[in-house]
Structure 1
């Protein structure tokens, strides 16, 4: 039995003189920078010399085998090195693209009825409340179907929202395997500078496993309260908010839980989550460049903010489907995978809902298998009984409906017998039909006509200016300047000014990007016009509804979101509405991935 005391041997706050005392009168152990969110994790919390590092990640992970105790106090035993020197040093990995391609197979060769997948596509497109962006289906380790609805593309990183949590959980798994954290340690043990302040007995009994499973004992979301209590350190604010019930017995989907997990890992590792995961997860899985939004410089949010491709989602799902093994090499501890993917806490009484099947370590239990998911329709469905993974991005406010359609159409597809299930159409014909369909996927553009002559004449000199009405609170566009393209192509330049009242809480990762205005290009009636004004990937479609009305849609291609805009020429007004309201980001110019370090 391990007699080590909870929290013993954990990284301590830096003793660097510049960080020893906050000159602004704050808590010891923090230096307070000038901007709004002062916590500097990567600078303030280097691992202390007395903490053993269990893994030298400059050696390929293939040279290690995991030896995990049942309580996930894990360690790695190094095997004799059989290869050359590693090229990537810890925290310095640079990824320029996927290192390997996933194997591809026809659906019928993997026992799948392609017609069922086609029916799933039909059902998605028939639902007015669902806007699909991408789909990948894997079975027996092979990609059997993949497609992107133009103008979305395979190489586009998209904001995953809470699907980020499942990647954060992987970081916790590695930290556990390296001896950096233990599931049964109290959270407060990792923040000794808060020891005297956290007096609520229930707060002191919150364990790492509780925050991993959204079972801190709180009955409601605590993020706003935690930030209000301490914007410099929401973990402190979270721990100061006493739980309503006993930790481990109450479920609440609670962002500070994941933020705390991410903070512990980043504090112990002395680097950002994204950098910690590069040599351990992203590179071994062949995942290309990703970007993660930060709470402040050097500290990734963890509970949201990861921008990654659909391929990256599929690879994470396949890793968990394979119980933590990739290409014959164990990456995640098997015991971790077993615990992460089974219910750790009950979370509802509605047996028909996929949000009431229990919650694991940053994974939802589903009516079929388990999943990671993110707001507005980002999914990683892992189906062990079918030996399948479904990765999907979309824009929808009805996430249950997407799952209902998946269970209705895809589960029977996996139960098919391939050629025998194809009926009158041969399996090869069904596969070919599906392949054609996948290659032709596209979102319908907003319709519109070229500018009427009188509008073009009026705008020829100085363009047209539209302003939001005084009661247009909540509209993302406050002003629009419309002018003809100087190349005489019939296109129009749209110079959008954001609502000046909208302010993002942090610039971390976005400092070099312009804000306030956004210039777009519209080809009236010409389908989607894709561009990246000021490095913000967008697609615009629309045109004139009549001589007095211009309407267009803007897709922000690195997020699920879009904006509908209508201009009234006679009144000089612009009306703009989000299809789905972004979470956490308040300005149009932040609807993109942050800068990749």
Structure 2
């Protein structure tokens, strides 16, 4: 079967994305007036940063294959550098993982300012119907402040027990867990504690955390299109699950840098910003000594202290909102990396070191190199060749798949100039993925992203998700596809090995690739249909 390429891709919701086309806002925007809600753009030198420092940062993270998806650098309230590694782009939201916690903390600060609660209020006081019959002294003593500072007294993170238990009432599950230490004295990173902050907001206001923050934080900052994952009862997960654009992260950091003030209005009390971002308890993490370790600088109200008198919100696999008050800077980054400390090291060693107290002389060659680099950023395509003799023989051929736990019944491949259509049929219907050959194809898919995620919680109402796909022939009988779910941090590879009338298909999610572990999904075996 042949297709009109343009009509077919449009019908599926896919479009062609050549490398770099959407990787960054054009560098000429340094002098452009901002659109509504956008931060002001400027050049690095005008704001006292050398272009070389930022260029060195980008080159360093690429050399170490740290898999950044986006970068935005602000100095003195202006964007001085920004870039997206294709197929990521400025208009896409991105999973924040635990960077979500800093937004949850902000909601508590707003609720405190409105007189709805105090940080010394006891946690059990908010949930009389969910507390256990017998309340231990440590549980009775647990305050909102202990949730904020990850010092609830639990010996380990409660998230697995709360989310993985039989009950759909996560609040009740949290309160039923033993509290081994005196609250306020023992730090353990605890996403379940942040979930409880979200539950408190909903209990007090009758609104989800997302609904509560919208008029108080998101609307004033002109942050739009955000969403947040939920528990079985519709409570936002709090400790993870928020999706925002890179510029939204930067705006949030700038709000904190400005001590809660935005466009002449105090959105968040300055005193709360100071309290939230100072160290309240000795933190834990990392493998290096304290003077070299950004996880041992202390923990605030869902913010980490950093070296260089900075602080940050961060999330798994490299989602960052880094605030440097001394230098009047904010750095926003999204990525999927297994080495979060390395990214911070490069921020300090390249971006921070390039900051001067005054405007720096412009080096036209360095500026041109940075502009070119930021507008041509791209993640690698699937390694291999775009064509093979076998491709023509696969046209109009489908494979019946042996019984498997994924309930996949049938697959087929259709190759045409510049793309391959992969069809997968399971118990939920037929799913289509269009793979560019030598470029990305971007579109929508109804394939679930759940197997790729770190925490298996849903976005309310999400039926389809944005995806960028490409494929290549690894050898004459092996076609491999890379599917990047570009509003998450993750991707997967799908390797298809053909031998006679048989095909073997192996899925590998990026978290398994990062951790060098086996993907839990079965290897599919199929036979050409008669």
* TM more than 0.5: yes
Distance 1:520 1:108 in 2: 44
Q: Which residue is 1:367 aligned to?
A: 307
**3-state SS of the aligned residue for 1:572?**
strand
Q: Which residue pairs with 1:527 in the alignment? A: 439
Partner SS, residue 296 of structure 1: coil
User: Which of 357, 360, 363 is the aligned partner of 2:297?
Assistant: 357
Number of the residue aligned with 1:385? 326
8 Å CA contact retained: 2:396, 2:412: no
1:569 pairs with 2:482:
no
Contact 1:477 1:576 survives alignment (8 Å):
no
Structure 2: which 5+ residue stretches go unaligned?
1-33, 447-463, 522-530
Question: Paired residue for 1:463?
Answer: 398
**Corresponding position: 1:219 with 2:155:** yes
1:418-455 alpha-carbon deviations (Å, 9 max, x no partner): 435xxxxx434433331222111111211333443344
**Contact 2:168–2:232 at 8 Å: present in 1 too?**
no
Give ranges in structure 1 of 5+ residues lacking alignment.
1-96, 421-425, 501-514, 589-597
1:187-586 alignment runs, 5 A limit: 187-195=123-131, 197-227=133-163, 231-348=167-284, 350-351=289-290, 352-368=292-308, 369-415=310-356, 418-420=359-361, 426-457=362-393, 459-464=394-399, 481-484=411-414, 488-489=416-417, 491-496=419-424, 518-524=431-437, 526-534=438-446, 535-570=464-499, 571-580=502-511
Listed one character per residue, the Cα deviations across residues 392-433 of structure 1 (whole Å, up to 9, x for unaligned) are 00111111111111111111112475435xxxxx43443333
CA distance in structure 1 between the aligned counterparts of 2:270 and 2:390, rounded to whole angstroms: 69
1:105 corresponds to: 42
Residues 346-368 of structure 1: per-residue CA shift (max 9 Å, x gap): 12384022111111111111113
1:206/1:199 Cα in 2 relative to 1: closer, same or farther (>3 Å)? same
Worse overlay, 195-204 or 222-231: 222-231
Higher relative contact order (CA 8 A, sep 6+): 2
Paired position in structure 2 for 1:116:
53
- Which residue does the alignment assign to 1:25? none
Q: CA deviation at 1:572?
A: 1.5
Superposed displacement of residue 285, structure 1: 0.8
Q: 1:428 to 1:222 in 2, by over 3 A?
A: same
Indicate conservation of the 8 Å contact 1:113/1:417, yes or no: no
| Distance (whole Å) between structure 2 residues aligned to residue 523 and residue 559 of structure 1 | 20
What are the Cα deviations for residues 235-268 of structure 1, in whole angstroms up to 9, with x where unaligned?
A: 2222222222110010001111101100000111
Deviations 1:90-133 (A, max 9, x none): xxxxxxx98422111110011101101000000011113x1111
Pick aligned residue for 2:95 from 155, 159, 162: 159
Pairwise CA RMSD: 2.7
Larger radius of gyration: 1
Determine the C-alpha separation between the residues in 1 that align with 2:480 and 2:508: 12
Query: Residue 517 and residue 209 in structure 1: after superposition, are their counterparts in 2 closer, same or farther (change >3 A)?
Result: farther
Q: Per the alignment, in what secondary structure is the counterpart of residue 385 of structure 1?
A: helix
Shift of 1:523: 2.9
The aligned length equals: 460
Q: Distance in 1 between matches of 2:213 and 2:430?
A: 35
Instruction: Choose which of 120, 125, 133 in structure 1 pairs with 2:69.
Output: 133
Tell me if structure 2 keeps the 8 A contact 1:211–1:261: yes
CA distance 1:451–1:107, shift in 2 (3 Å)? closer
The offset of 1:327, in angstroms, is 1.1
SS at match of 2:336: strand
Task: Provide the rounded CA distance (Å) in 1 between the counterparts of 2:520 and 2:107.
Answer: 30
Give the Cα–Cα distance (whole angstroms) in 2 for the partners of residues 117 and 337 of structure 1: 28
Structure-2-length-normalised TM-score: 0.81
SS of the aligned residue for 1:106 comes to coil
TM-score normalized with structure 1 length: 0.72
Q: Which whole-Å CA distance do the structure 2 matches of 1:104 and 1:121 have between them?
A: 19
Check the 8 A contact 2:45/2:359 in 1, yes or no: yes
* SS of alignment partner, residue 144 of structure 1: strand
1:545: Cα distance to partner?
2.2
Q: Can you list the C-alpha shifts for 1:204-242, whole angstroms capped at 9, x where unaligned?
A: 100000001101011211122234566232222222222
Question: Are 1:180 and 1:265, in contact at CA under 8 Å, matched by a contact in 2?
Answer: no
Residue aligning to 2:18: none
